[in-house]
Structures are given as structure tokens and as C-alpha cells.
Structure 1
Amino acid sequence: MIRPYSKEDRTELEDFLVKQRTFAMLNGQSIQAFRDENVADFAEDGTVSLIIRADGRIVAIAELLKRHPVDGSLWLGLFVVDETLHGTGLAQTLYEQVEEEYMRPYQTVFRLGVLPNNLRARRFWERNGYVYEKDSTTNKDVRVHVLKKQLIRPE
């Protein structure tokens, strides 16, 4: 079940984030810094923060910026699936749902940033139709590969 984040989810979101040690390591952050930064981001206005549950617990989170102020595209700022569920196919299923319900209705161009050392994530996004566009740095001064997906709408 996918639904927007609410303040009532905060404690459970914190618990989910501290278990994502691999993602925090790839970001070069302590688990506490990773948790605190993402909890703060989820509380910000201007993005759509999503909680994804299965069997009564958070199994994934996503955060979207529906219209980037510079390029006008939709950015998937964060997509984290519980690392204990990697390799199960769940990430694919959840991404397809997020794209269908929360991305396609708003834009035809999607972008995201992948850490250069996260080859597994890069392969995942490329299987989902994303292609390399350029190197860039985030607003937090982290170097990323920007990947882009262009939908073709029937006329």
C-alpha cells in the first residue's frame, strides 16, 4: 500500500531508515546522519513523500519533486527499498506502482541521481528505461550521475 507520509509516520520512518545501512554507507553518511537528513526531507514542503507498506510495516519509501524549478521535469529524489528485500523483485513492483500512480499523471520526463559507486542501482534504473544524461552535484554537494526517462505519449 502506497500513501503520502504524515507526521504520525515519523517514528516508524526513523526505525526504517536506521536499518538501511548499505544505502547510508553508499552516501558516505553515518546511519544517524542518513536518518536525520531523510526524516527532515520528508517533513519539507514542496515534495511528495511516500510510505510504502506491506504486512503492516514500511518496506520502502520514495520522495518526488513533481516539477523541478530549473528543468521542469519530475525528479525521483529518493527510492529506498528495505535492504533485506533486495533481490526479491519487490523494488521493481513498487517502482512500477510509484511511476504509474505518482509520476506519469504529472510529467513525461523523469530524472534521478545515482551515486557513481552504486552500480546495482544504476543497472536497476537502466532496466526501467532511464539513460545517462550528465554528471552533476546535488544541492548537498554530492556528485551523482543524472539519469533521464522520457515517456512518449500517444497523440
Structure 2
Amino acid sequence: MKVSARLDFLPVTSDSATVVHSLYLNCPTYIALIGGDMPSLNDIQRELDTLRHDTRRQAVLLFHQDRAVGFLDYKVAYPDLHSATISLLLIEEKLQGQGLGKAAVEQLEAMLRSRMDRLYAVVYGNNEQAKRFWERLGFEHLRDSGPTLSWYLKALK
């Protein structure tokens, strides 16, 4: 069932680690696809602490109907001043396919359109589902950076 919804973007703080960790735990297929280990709560806490030191990096919890349903990590002015790059869009596995990821990307595009010309998205691992997702949203495959990283691009203006 597709969700027709607006998501609330709540900034991630170091206090958000438990919620972010829970989202990762509810996405075991993603972790398997990228070939890594499930991050521990301490891993998440360290990662969120690094956010404070990079003023271009933004991370938000995605809320729908007062419930955290996802996590979005992106960087503005990267790889150039007129672009932004989504490095992770994580939607709780059992909620995937309901339009939440699409809503998150469309809202981010609307937020960035006035100040960025391009939006990149990166796909880690052999994640064919993610590649199709970005293509359905109008992103074009730009290049592969080795066997485990694919770049997608969409013009915002």
C-alpha cells in the first residue's frame, strides 16, 4: 500500500542514537547487501558525534504519524558548491515500498532546489533495489566507483 504523506524531518542529535540504531536493526537486508556488520549502538553514537564537526553534513530522522520510519544522511555543497549528495536513505524494511522513501527525496529536493543545482545519490554494494529506486525518481546513473559504489545524478533546476 502506497502512503501519500508528508514526512517530518527532525534533526539528528547525539541523543538520537538509540532511534537510529533501532532503524538499522530493522533493516538487516540493507546491511547484508553492503556486506558489513550491523553497527552497534556505540558505532552509531560515534557516527552521530562526527556530524557536529562537519557543517555541510545533515542527518534527519524521518517521522510519519509521530513514528520514526527512516533516516536520511546528506551533504550540501558536495561534491561542489552547487550540489548535494545523499549518502544514505534508510527506510524501515517492513515499510519499504509504501512511498516513504519517495516522499523523503521529493521533500529534500524541494528544500534544496533554491540553493543547489544538482542532487547526487550514492548506492553502496550490489543493491539493485536501490538503483531502481533512484532511477524511478528521475536520477540517472552517472558512474561506478569500483565494484561497491554507484553514483546517480538529478538536476534540480
- Please tell me the TM-score bracket, short chain as reference: 0.7 to 0.9
Superposition RMSD on alpha carbons, in Å?
Answer: 2.1
Deviation at residue 118 of structure 1 after TM alignment: 1.0
Q: 2: distance between equivalents of 1:84 and 1:7?
A: 26
Q: 2: distance between equivalents of 1:24 and 1:61?
A: 14
Q: 2: distance between equivalents of 1:39 and 1:67?
A: 25
Q: Specify the alignment match of 2:61 in structure 1.
A: 51
Superposed CA deviations along residues 108-136 of structure 1, whole A, max 9, x for unmatched, are 11112113521111111111111111111
Q: Specify the alignment match of 1:133 in structure 2.
A: 142
Q: Specify the alignment match of 1:143 in structure 2.
A: 148
User: Where does the alignment leave 5 or more consecutive residues of structure 1 unmatched?
Assistant: none
Q: Is residue 104 of structure 1 aligned with residue 134 of structure 2?
A: no
1:42–1:63 contact (8 Å) kept in structure 2 = no
1:66–1:106 contact (8 Å) kept in structure 2 = no
Deviation at residue 106 of structure 1 after TM alignment: 2.8
Deviation at residue 83 of structure 1 after TM alignment: 0.6
Q: Specify the alignment match of 2:90 in structure 1.
A: 80
Give the total of aligned pairs.
Answer: 145
> Identity, % of aligned pairs?
23
Q: Mapping of 1:53-72 within 5 angstroms?
A: 53-68=63-78, 70-72=79-81
Q: Mapping of 1:29-40 within 5 angstroms?
A: 29-32=36-39, 37-40=43-46
Higher relative contact order (CA closer than 8 Å, sequence separation 6+): 2
Q: 2: distance between equivalents of 1:98 and 1:108?
A: 13
Q: Specify the alignment match of 2:48 in structure 1.
A: 42
User: Where does the alignment leave 5 or more consecutive residues of structure 2 unmatched?
Assistant: 1-7
Q: 2: distance between equivalents of 1:100 and 1:65?
A: 15
Q: Which amino acid aligns with 1:131?
A: E
2:14–2:48 contact (8 Å) kept in structure 1 = no
1:3–1:50 contact (8 Å) kept in structure 2 = yes
Q: 2: distance between equivalents of 1:22 and 1:94?
A: 20
Q: 1: distance between equivalents of 2:115 and 2:73?
A: 14
